[in-house]
Amino acid sequence: MRYLLLSDIHSNLEGLYTCLELAAGKYDQAVCLGDLVGYGPNPNEVVDKIRNLCKVVIRGNHDKACCGIDDAAEFNPYARMATDWTHQNLTQHNLDYLRSLPMGPAVMNGFIMVHGSPNDEDEYILGPAQALPLLRGPEAQLVCFGHTHLQGGFTLNSEARFHSVHIPPTPDGLTLTVPLEDGTRYLINPGSVGQPRDRDWRVGFAILDLDRKEVEYYRTPYEVAKTQAKMEKAGLPLPLYRRLELGR
Ligand code: ZN
């Protein structure tokens, strides 16, 4: 079984379609680790697409804020403005869909899906301080997470060796293949489909192949200027569309 792992799409339709084009024919089932909306200009189009495409979808913190489950009090002013804009522009149908999304973890056959971390859907797994206790903990051997918008992840092997997965600055397309070894534990972040923050503006996703026992990381350029122009036209804050071309 090959799973397409999508995360942190953030209403970026160009990013989503570019990822899906590159992933076409390479997976059996698509899943989404949350944050369908927030920041970008196409919340309804993205929700419509993900609802039809993905077998399993869990909610992210921006999904909660944009549909009114959370009050976005912890967001910075720009993110709050985008949250308000998204809330006003979502159809009732899509607001209801976002409200219905389950909280992670979602237990799949052979792995676990979370937005932030298995302990707290809003926690950021940024480095060993957060990753090591999880890798040593009772959770499944393989956890897929998002929320940080940083493609890569963390591993702990049977000899207790900790390793950060770094994506090399390779050409577009398949950037790294990580084999899944028996006895090693994995925290896998597929990267962000709609707003990368690892200083690489190209959008990212991953394919988890449980038969070949490997994770493939992908990175691809997209029509970022088109997304930015839509955001400007919608009146979304300038820093939110500038950051797309900077990848941060
Ligand atoms: Zn996000």
Going from the Cα of 184 to the center of ligand 1, the distance in angstroms, rounded, reads 27
Give per-residue pLDDT as tens, 156-179. Answer: 999 999 999 999 888 899 999 999
What number of other Cβ atoms are within 10 A of residue 241's Cβ? Answer: 21
Residues with CB under 5 Å of ion ligand 1 are: 8, 35
| pLDDT value at 73 more than 90 | no
| pLDDT value at 138 more than 80 | no
52-56, 138-142, 183-187: least confidently modelled range:
138-142
Average pLDDT of the residues of the chain:
96
What number of other Cβ atoms are within 10 A of residue 73's Cβ? Answer: 7
Residue 58 CB partners (closer than 8 Å, separation 6+) = 32, 33, 34, 101, 102, 103, 104, 105, 106, 113, 114, 115, 121
Q: In terms of C-beta density within 10 A (0-12 exposed, 13-18 middle, 19 or more buried), how is residue 216 classed? A: buried
5-14, 33-42, 136-145: least confidently modelled range:
136-145
Q: Tell me the C-alpha distance between 98 and 148, whole Å.
A: 20
> Which band of pLDDT confidence, cut at 50, 70 and 90, is reported for residue 72?
confident
Going from the Cα of 35 to the center of ligand 1, the distance in angstroms, rounded, reads 5
Percent of the chain with pLDDT over 90: 95
| pLDDT value at 139 more than 80 | no
> How far is CA 202 from its chain centroid?
14
| pLDDT score, position 1 | 97
| pLDDT value at 208 more than 90 | yes
Going from the Cα of 159 to the center of ligand 1, the distance in angstroms, rounded, reads 33
Going from the Cα of 182 to the center of ligand 1, the distance in angstroms, rounded, reads 31
| pLDDT score, position 128 | 96
Contact 126, 150 (CB under 8 A): yes
More confident residue, 191 or 71: 191
| pLDDT score, position 121 | 96
| pLDDT score, position 95 | 98
Average pLDDT over residues 116-127: 96
> Which band of pLDDT confidence, cut at 50, 70 and 90, is reported for residue 145?
very high
Structural fold of domain 2-104+169-180+191-245: Purple Acid Phosphatase; chain A, domain 2 (3.60.21)
Full-model pTM: 0.97
Q: What's at 195, amino acid-wise? A: Q
Going from the Cα of 196 to the center of ligand 1, the distance in angstroms, rounded, reads 9
Going from the Cα of 91 to the center of ligand 1, the distance in angstroms, rounded, reads 21
| pLDDT value at 131 more than 90 | yes
